[in-house]
Chains A and B, each alone.
Chain A
C-alpha cells in the first residue's frame, strides 16, 4: 500500500443528539482508488457519520480535510462541489418524475435535457448499468432505482463515492454487477466509502475497514485478513449465539393458498399473480425476494387487510379468502407487517393501546364492544416482560421505543396470542443484532410448539437460519418451495429472478 496523503481525513468528529451520542471522536483516513468499509450495527452511528461527510448534518466538534485542505460542507451542494457524491439507501428519488429529471435534480449545474439524456446513456453503458432516461421512476425495480442514484453520482465525476447499504435491495447476481462497477471505479482512482453490516461482502470488496460500535471507532482493520466471525464480534462487541432449534415433527397442512391473484393496491404497487403455497404445522416457510416484488401485498392478502377470492386462501380446510383481519385472527391466523411505526403499531398510541390493536379478540380485551383497558394493560405488561422490551412501562407511546424494542413488542404481541399460523414480514429489519437473534429464536420456538410460521424477508442469511423450506418472490409471483437445507447462494439468486432485466451475457458465467 503506497502511503500517499489521504483523500479525506476525518479527525475527532463528534455529534450528539438528545439522549444519545451518535458519533464520539470518530477518525479515519480514506485514500484515492481504495474501497473503505464503514462497518457497524444499526444504530452504531454510520448514517450520522456519512451525513456529516455529505453536509446534511453538522458535527458538534472535530474536523475533516479533503486533499489536505479543511473540509466543512454546509450543505450537500457544497459536498458535491468538492467532489463528494452519495448513493442513498432510501429517500432520494421522486417516483412521479422520470429518470432524467431525477438525475438532473441531483446535479448542481445540469446540462440541457437532451444532452443529459445522451450522457446518461453513455455513462450507463460504460459501467454496465442500462437505464432509459424517459422511464417514470415509480415503475422501476429496486435495482434499477439504485442505478439511477449511481449514475447520478457518476455524472458528476466524484472523487469520493459514498454507498449507504447498497446491496440490501439487490439479488446476489445484481450484487456481482454492482461490485464490478465499483471495482472499475476504484481502478479509475475514485475513493469509495462503503457502508454495510454484511460481512462477507466487505471481505470480498473492501481494502480497509473502520468498525463503529455505539458511535465510537472500535477497530481499523483489513477485512480480508479477518474472518467473518471476528468482524462480527468487533461489530457487536459480544459473541452471538445462532438460534438453536430442535428437530420438530412437521404436522398436517394448515394454510393453503391457491391461485391467488390480486391487482396492485396503488399506482406503484405490485400485483400478485397466481400465488400457490401450502404450509404445515410446525414448519417455518421462508419467503425471500428483493424489496417491492409483492411482499407487502402478499402479507396484506394473508392478514386479511386485502380480502381476496373466497377460496384463494384456506385455513384448516375452511375458505377464509373473503374474511377481514379480525375474522382471521379469531381463527388463529395472525400477522406482523414490515412497517412497525404506522402499520403494525400506531406511533402516538401507548403500548397498552397498541396491545388492544390486534389482541382484543383472542385475549378477550373487549366485551360487546366495550374495552377493558386494565386487561389490555396487563397483556401489554406481559409482552414487555416475556420479550424483554426495554421501556419504562405500557403507558408509553410506541414511538418512544427503539426499533428493536418495538419490534420485539410487535412480534411478542402476536406470539403471545397463541397463533395457529403466524405471518411476519421483515421481522428483524433495522433491528440490532441481539434483538434480531431474540426475535428469530422466538419464531423458531413458536414453530417448535406446533404453529406454522411464514417469514417474509429480504435478508437471505436470516431466511437460511430459520427456514425449513424456502421460496422466492419475484414481480408478484412465488416460486415453488424447496427445502432450505443445502440451497446455495447461486440457486437462491436464480430463484429470486436473477438480475432482473440486466443483460444475461453480463451475468451468466
Chain B
C-alpha cells in the first residue's frame, strides 16, 4: 500500500525539481498524444522545443518571436502570481487584457494624427488603468458583498469580449477602413506604435515592462512588508489578520496589480505585435498566463523561465502545425497537460511517498 506522508517542511529540492519533472512528463505524454494523432512523436517534440531556437531555417524568424510571445505572458503571470500567493483568484486576466487594450488604443486613436512623445506613455497609463478598473469590479464585489471573485472575474471575460466586438465594429472602427471591422493600425501611427526596440530581438516596450515587473515582484515578495503580507495571507489568513493585514486592502491591491499588468500587456500587444483592435486580437494569453504562473511556482524568476518556455510551445506549435500538420488545438491541450502534470508532481514538495507495511489482520 502506498501512503502519503507529510514532510515536516517543504522540500527545497522538489520545489525546484517539480517543474522540470512536469515538463519531462508532459513531453512523454504529449508524444503519446501526437503518436495517437498519427504523427512522429520525436519529430513533433523536436519541432516544438528545439527547432524554433536552433533550426537554421526557422531560428531567425522564431527567436525574436520568443520575446514577443513571452512578454505578455510574463507580465500577466507576474501579477496573477501575487494574487494566487495571497489566495485571491483572479482568473479573468483575459478580460482585463482586452479592456486594457481598448482603453489604451482609444487614447492613442483620440490623438490621431497628432504626433508627440507623450502619447505612448499616456496609452500605457490608460491601458493599465483600464485593466485595473476591470479587475476592481470583482475586487469591490468581493470585498463589499463577499461575491466569489473567481466566477465574477471569469464571467467578465465574456462581457469584455462583447465589448471588444462592439468597439471593433463601432466606436474604434477605422473610418478609412472601407467598412471592415477593426481599428486603425497603430503600428503605422509613430507616436502610438510599440515598435521593436532592438531590431531582430523581438524586444518591445512590453518585454521591458515584463522584466521590470519581474524585478519589482521579486523585491516586493522577498524584501517588503506588503509582499510578506501577501504570502502570509495566502498561507494562513488568520495569522495574517493577527499580523495586522487588512484583508480588504490586500484583495483590492492584488486584484488591482494583476489587472493593471494585464491591461498594460493588452495595450503593448495591440499597439505592437497585433497592431489594431480587432474582434479576435486576443489569443488567450490571459488564460495561458495562469499556467505560466503555476509552472513558475508563483515565483517571479520561475515565471520568467516558464513564460519563455510557454512562448516556445506557442511558436513550436505553430511550426509543428506548418511542418507536420499538427492540429493547432493540440498545443492548447499540450499546455493544459503541462499544468496537470505540474499539479500532480507538486505533491512531492510537501509530501513523500511511503510504501506502507502490510496491516496485520
Of the listed stretches B106-114, B131-139, B234-242, B260-268, chain A binds B234-242
Judging by beta carbons under 8 Å apart, are B243 and A358 in contact?
A: yes
Q: Give chain B residues whose Cβ lies under 8 Å from the Cβ of A59.
A: 360
Q: Give chain B residues whose Cβ lies under 8 Å from the Cβ of A345.
A: 239
Judging by beta carbons under 8 Å apart, are A342 and B239 in contact?
A: yes
Judging by beta carbons under 8 Å apart, are A346 and B232 in contact?
A: yes
> CA A329 – CA B231 in complex, angstroms?
21
Instruction: Given A72-B360, A356-B228, A397-B8, decide whether A349 and B246 contact each other with a Cβ distance below 8 A.
Output: no
Judging by beta carbons under 8 Å apart, are B228 and A346 in contact?
A: no
Q: Count how many chain A residues have C-beta atoms less than 8 Å from C-beta atoms of the other chain.
A: 38
Interface centre among B239, B359, B361 (most CB of A within 10 A): B239
Asked whether B144 is an interface residue with its Cβ less than 8 Å from the other chain, the reply is no
Judging by beta carbons under 8 Å apart, are A357 and B223 in contact?
A: no
Judging by beta carbons under 8 Å apart, are A337 and B242 in contact?
A: yes
Judging by beta carbons under 8 Å apart, are B236 and A346 in contact?
A: yes
> CA A348 – CA B232 in complex, angstroms?
9
Number of A-B contacts (CB under 8 A): 81
Q: Give chain B residues whose Cβ lies under 8 Å from the Cβ of A399.
A: 8-9
Of the candidates A304, A329, A347, A371, which one forms a contact with B225 in the assembled complex, judged by CB atoms under 8 Å apart? Answer: A371
Q: Give chain A residues whose Cβ lies under 8 Å from the Cβ of B238.
A: 337, 339, 342-343
Judging by beta carbons under 8 Å apart, are A343 and B242 in contact?
A: yes
Instruction: Given A343-B238, A357-B242, A366-B225, decide whether A397 and B360 contact each other with a Cβ distance below 8 A.
Output: no
Judging by beta carbons under 8 Å apart, are B361 and A72 in contact?
A: yes
Judging by beta carbons under 8 Å apart, are A346 and B239 in contact?
A: yes
Asked whether B10 is an interface residue with its Cβ less than 8 Å from the other chain, the reply is yes
Q: Which positions 345-390 of chain A face chain B at CB distance < 8 Å?
A: 345-349, 353, 356-358, 360, 366, 369-371
- Chain A residue at minimum C-beta to C-beta distance from B240: A346
The dominant DSSP class at the A interface is loop
Judging by beta carbons under 8 Å apart, are B8 and A400 in contact?
A: yes
- Chain A residue at minimum C-beta to C-beta distance from B226: A369
Asked whether B244 is an interface residue with its Cβ less than 8 Å from the other chain, the reply is yes
Q: Give chain B residues whose Cβ lies under 8 Å from the Cβ of A396.
A: 9
Q: Give chain A residues whose Cβ lies under 8 Å from the Cβ of B232.
A: 346, 349, 357
Instruction: Given A59-B360, A349-B232, A369-B224, decide whether A357 and B9 contact each other with a Cβ distance below 8 A.
Output: no
Judging by beta carbons under 8 Å apart, are B224 and A370 in contact?
A: yes
Chain B interface size range: 20 to 34
> CA A18 – CA B8 in complex, angstroms?
11
Judging by beta carbons under 8 Å apart, are A360 and B225 in contact?
A: yes
Q: Give chain B residues whose Cβ lies under 8 Å from the Cβ of A344.
A: 239, 242
* Min C-beta distance of A155 to chain B, whole Å: 29
* Min C-beta distance of B215 to chain A, whole Å: 15
Q: Give chain B residues whose Cβ lies under 8 Å from the Cβ of A371.
A: 223-225, 228
> CA A61 – CA B359 in complex, angstroms?
9
Judging by beta carbons under 8 Å apart, are B235 and A303 in contact?
A: no
> CA A18 – CA B354 in complex, angstroms?
10
Q: Which positions 254-309 of chain A face chain B at CB distance < 8 Å?
A: 303-305
Asked whether B5 is an interface residue with its Cβ less than 8 Å from the other chain, the reply is yes
Of the candidates A339, A342, A357, which one forms a contact with B243 in the assembled complex, judged by CB atoms under 8 Å apart? Answer: A357
Asked whether A319 is an interface residue with its Cβ less than 8 Å from the other chain, the reply is no
Q: Which positions 177-229 of chain B face chain A at CB distance < 8 Å?
A: 223-226, 228
* Min C-beta distance of A321 to chain B, whole Å: 16
> CA A343 – CA B237 in complex, angstroms?
8
> CA A59 – CA B359 in complex, angstroms?
7
> CA A457 – CA B278 in complex, angstroms?
65
Q: Which positions 1-23 of chain B face chain A at CB distance < 8 Å?
A: 5, 8-10
* Min C-beta distance of B348 to chain A, whole Å: 15
Interface flags, A294-338, vs B, CB<8A=1, else 0: 000000000111000000000000000000111001000000010
Q: Which B residues are closer than 8 A to A by beta carbons?
A: 5, 8-10, 223-226, 228, 231-232, 235-236, 238-244, 246, 354, 357, 359-361
Q: Which A residues are closer than 8 A to B by beta carbons?
A: 18, 58-61, 72, 74, 303-305, 324-326, 329, 337, 339, 341-349, 353, 356-358, 360, 366, 369-371, 396-397, 399-400
Please name 21 pairs of A and B residues whose Cβ atoms are closer than 8 Å in the assembled complex, sorted by A: A60-B357, A72-B361, A74-B361, A305-B241, A324-B246, A325-B241, A341-B236, A345-B239, A346-B232, A349-B232, A353-B228, A357-B239, A357-B242, A358-B242, A358-B243, A369-B224, A369-B225, A370-B224, A371-B224, A371-B225, A397-B10
